[in-house]
């Protein structure tokens, strides 16, 4: 989506050969640099740019629910085999649980080896709990039962209207199954959905033209409000988190990618426009529609993409898991709390549960951390005030890593299902021109 419309589609590239500035990734990169510069030189002005970032994020979130609904419904109905839907979902969740647990363990190990909070000797009583009271309240209000109930919308259309990803996913799967069960009688509705898909994806292509403006506003606000100096106070924790996430992508996800028959660095290059967009907005949701299109274009089956990508946005948050165990142990170390191995394992088990269902938006990781600490009394929740100032910077890393993790998961599950076109995948990873896989892509490219 963001690729085809902003200059990266092969047909467009032929028309604009040599015009590097027409590429979405170049425009977003320039916007990010401009935003950082404005925020650093004129903090007040940079902070005033916040509405630009917020407006773009709302524009994209406006279209996410229809994209997910149409993609999943048409994908499932096109399978004409209900057993296949359950099989894909089972494999996806097996992958999510395995890799997410591994991410939690990595965060735990790094925190014990590097010990970024050691020596700070902070008295928990001296911390201002009011700064994190809102996050703690949101975390307290959430529970496993409440989370499961929340997946069910109040009405059939409420899920799409409210834009709740898990609710949209739930309704879409049920609707797709229903269409499959009624067979040929569903054909008129399928024709309507196919036409609606063309319109919705074309709308996404239009919205992506505003991506540089949104990235500029979001980055200017972040630097203007928090300042680059905010990083200096907790540079050790931030650096440790970024390095751990980078190594997780290159080593863990890299190894998974090699086993699946592709290279992680090639995938990152293929998704460069989306990654820059995520970096600029600190939200992986802004690139969700584009990720769906690019995974299909790279040879992943439509049904696989429709099920794995939106589900992964809530259940496959690798970097959020690294962040939770690393930040929890940082707070414990900084406040002089010595956690035993048993307490650390208990923390990991709680984090495994509380991390599920966190959306890929700014602040979700912080709320999830609050939920985890509220259940583990050994670590003071007030200690979250220590990292509140730099959480925004770590949120960008969480979004980037989670985004790459979901792209890897989609390709892996597609390979497991035998729904991966290796020729297209290899061409995409090599940066070669790819013809549209469907009429939707052809219309987007017009």
Query: Which pairs count as long-range contacts for 111-116, CB under 8 Å and 24+ apart, including other chains?
Result: 111/325, 111/326, 111/328, 111/329, 111/330, 111/333, 112/329, 112/344, 114/236, 114/240, 115/333, 116/236, 116/237, 116/240, 116/326, 116/330, 116/333
Architecture of the CATH domain 2-445: Orthogonal Bundle (1.10)
**Separation of alpha carbons 269 and 76, rounded Å:** 30
182 token code pair? 């009624």
CB atoms within 10 A of CB 219: 29
Domain-by-domain residue ranges, the chain? 2-445
Non-local CB neighbours of 85 within 8 Å, separated by 6+ positions? 76, 79, 173, 176, 177, 303, 307
Nearest to 294 by CA among 161, 424, 149, 142: 424
135 token code pair? 């996050």
pLDDT for 409 equals 95
Nearest to 358 by CA among 404, 395, 412, 413: 395
Place of tokens 């149409």: 70
Residue 382, CB half-sphere, CA atoms under 13 Å: how many? 10
Place of tokens 């497991």: 416
pLDDT for 247 equals 92
167 token code pair? 């609710």
CA 70 to chain centre: 20
Ranges of residues in the chain with a pLDDT under 50 are 1-18, 136, 139-140, 357-362, 439-446
């Amino acid at each position: 989506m963001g690729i085809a419309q902003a200059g990266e589609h092969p047909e467009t590239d032929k028309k604009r050969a040599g015009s590097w500035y027409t590429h979405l990734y170049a425009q977003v990169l320039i916007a990010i640099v401009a935003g950082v510069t404005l925020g650093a030189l004129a903090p007040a002005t940079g902070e005033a740019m916040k509405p630009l970032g917020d407006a773009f994020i709302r524009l994209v979130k406006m279209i996410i629910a229809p994209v997910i609904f149409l993609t999943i419904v048409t994908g499932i109905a096109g399978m004409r085999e209900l057993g296949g839907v359950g099989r894909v979902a089972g494999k996806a969740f097996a992958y999510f649980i395995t890799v997410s647990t591994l991410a939690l363990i990595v965060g735990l190990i790094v925190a014990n080896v590097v010990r970024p909070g050691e020596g700070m000797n902070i008295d928990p009583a001296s911390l201002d709990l009011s700064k994190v009271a809102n996050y703690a309240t949101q975390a307290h209000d959430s529970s496993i039962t409440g989370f499961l109930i929340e997946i069910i919308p109040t009405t059939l259309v409420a899920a799409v209207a409210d834009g709740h990803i898990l609710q949209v996913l739930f309704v879409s799967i049920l609707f797709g199954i229903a269409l499959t069960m009624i067979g040929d009688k569903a054909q008129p509705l399928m024709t309507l959905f196919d036409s609606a898909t063309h319109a919705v994806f074309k709308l996404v292509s239009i919205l992506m033209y505003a991506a540089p403006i949104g990235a500029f506003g979001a980055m200017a606000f972040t630097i203007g409000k928090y300042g680059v100096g905010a990083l200096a106070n907790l540079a050790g924790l931030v650096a440790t988190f970024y390095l751990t996430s980078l190594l997780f992508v290159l080593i863990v996800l890299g190894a998974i990618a090699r086993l699946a028959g592709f290279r992680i660095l090639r995938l990152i290059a293929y998704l460069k426009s989306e990654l820059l967009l995520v970096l600029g907005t600190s939200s992986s949701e802004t690139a969700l529609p584009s990720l769906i299109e690019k995974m299909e274009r790279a040879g992943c089956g439509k049904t696989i993409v429709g099920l794995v990508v939106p589900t992964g946005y809530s259940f496959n948050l690798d970097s959020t898991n690294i962040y939770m165990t690393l930040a929890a142990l940082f707070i414990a170390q900084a406040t002089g709390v010595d956690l035993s191995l048993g307490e650390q394992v208990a923390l990991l088990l709680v984090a495994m549960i509380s991390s599920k269902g966190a959306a890929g938006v700014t602040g979700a990781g912080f709320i999830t951390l609050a939920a985890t600490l509220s259940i583990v009394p050994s670590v003071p929740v007030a200690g979250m005030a220590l990292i509140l100032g730099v959480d925004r910077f770590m949120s960008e890393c969480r979004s980037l890593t989670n985004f790459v993790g979901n792209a890897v998961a989609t390709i892996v599950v597609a390979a497991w299902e035998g729904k991966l076109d290796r020729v297209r995948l290899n061409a995409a990873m090599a940066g070669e021109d790819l013809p549209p896989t469907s009429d939707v892509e052809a219309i987007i490219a017009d």
